[in-house]
Amino acid sequence: MECFRIDESGYTGFDLLIPQQRLQGAAAIAISDEDAALLIKEHFPRRQAPELKYRALSRRPNNRPHLLALLRDLLQSYKCVTHVMDKRYMLILMFCDYAVEPWYYERGANFYVDGQNYAMGSLLSVVGSTFNAD
């Protein structure tokens, strides 16, 4: 069985709409603990920690070539995927799931066919704020 490691960035707790971090990212990679340890040793031989923290490593300019080389090796040799989404859009999609989909369901329609949920979420995220409740 393949094991995927998953990590996220941009998590702001309950303040999901903080303007300084409007994006949420998640990445998953199929890598064993042994392979990860070997890559850490290869690209960062002086590091003692079993886990790398990008934020800490990226602050030092001399680490950047090592980070890029590590990313190259990961992307070339392991199954991985990254997903980045606007948090406001994500919340609008959740609203549509909970508030709009039941209305469609009661009428025998599939809200998710042909990406209607994404279309509605996109429309609301772009023009929704222009509607005035007055």
| The pLDDT of residue 13 | 77
Token pair for residue 48?
A: 């003692």
Phi, psi of 120 (to 5 degrees): -65, -40
Q: Which amino acid is at 6?
A: I
Query: From the CB of residue 70, how many other CB atoms can be counted at a distance below 10 Å?
Result: 19
Query: From the CB of residue 33, how many other CB atoms can be counted at a distance below 10 Å?
Result: 10
End-to-end CA distance of the chain: 56
Token pair for residue 107?
A: 């009428």
Confidence (pTM)? 0.64
Is 90 exceeded by the pLDDT of residue 12?
A: no
- The pLDDT of 59-85, averaged and rounded, is 93
What pairing do the DSSP bridges indicate for beta strands 4-9 and 80-86?
A: unpaired
Residue 76's pLDDT band (boundaries 50, 70, 90)? Answer: very high
Q: Report helix, strand or coil for 30.
A: strand
pLDDT digits (tens, 9 = 90+) for 90-118: 899 999 999 999 999 999 999 999 999 99
Residue tagged 């602050």 (tokens): 59
